[in-house]
Amino acid sequence: MRFRSTEAIREGSLQIFDRTFQITEVLRVLAGVVAFLGVLGALLSIELERTRELAILRALGLTPRELITTLLAQTGLLGVAAGLAAAPIGVVLAALLVHVINRRSFGWSMQLSLTPGPLLVGFLLAISAALLAGIYPAWRTIRAGLATALREE
């Protein structure tokens, strides 16, 4: 029969717990990549839908730089809206995880601690991801042929 000290059991438990949260980190990165690709796809779709409108703006004298600035400002505002919507949804999901899911799944709970740091990081991440996803559609818009874009419906 083997005996282990309380400290050895505690260390082993913490290692297992840490490995569990490594999986959570990988899932978080994967969710971020999928969200980024979703925003990129949506922005490309919007660009396709607005091709004629954007070509008219160019024909009226909007320079490529002004068009890119306008498109990135619109994309940034979409990121702001996403960041503002994500904060309360994230807090509700965290409370649900801490107070309901952990208690039902593991039989324990922990104190929910809300700090502004992670919420601010999430907000800035939403804006940054939207702006990064908006660069390629904006670039495609200014590279499109003006005459062709005006003819298309």
> What are 3-43's pLDDT values in tens digits?
778 888 888 877 887 777 777 788 888 988 998 898 889 98
Torsion angle of C-alpha atoms 100, 101, 106, 108, degrees rounded to 10 = -30
Query: What is the pLDDT confidence band of residue 1, given thresholds at 50, 70 and 90?
Result: low
Is the pTM higher than 0.85? The answer reads no
Mark 33-71 as b/e (b = at least 16 C-beta within 10 Å). eebbeebbeebeeebeebbeebbeebeeebeeeebbeeb
- Dihedral pair phi/psi, residue 110, rounded to 5°: -145, 170
Percent of the chain with pLDDT over 70: 98
d(C-alpha 66, C-alpha 72), whole Å: 10
Asked whether the predicted pLDDT for residue 149 surpasses 80, the reply is: no
Q: Specify whether the CB–CB gap between 132 and 82 falls below 8 A.
A: no
Query: What is the pLDDT confidence band of residue 100, given thresholds at 50, 70 and 90?
Result: confident
pLDDT at site 153:
60
147: DSSP letter:
H
Q: Specify whether the CB–CB gap between 70 and 84 falls below 8 A.
A: no
The two three-digit tokens of residue 152, written as one number: 């298309």
Lowest mean pLDDT among 38-47, 79-88, 119-128, 143-152: 143-152
Which distant-in-sequence residues (6+ apart) come within 8 Å of 132 by Cβ?
A: 36
The two three-digit tokens of residue 139, written as one number: 């670039």
Which distant-in-sequence residues (6+ apart) come within 8 Å of 79 by Cβ?
A: 126, 127, 128, 129, 130, 131
Nearest to 142 by CA among 45, 90, 65: 65
In this prediction, residues 96-122 reach a mean pLDDT of: 84
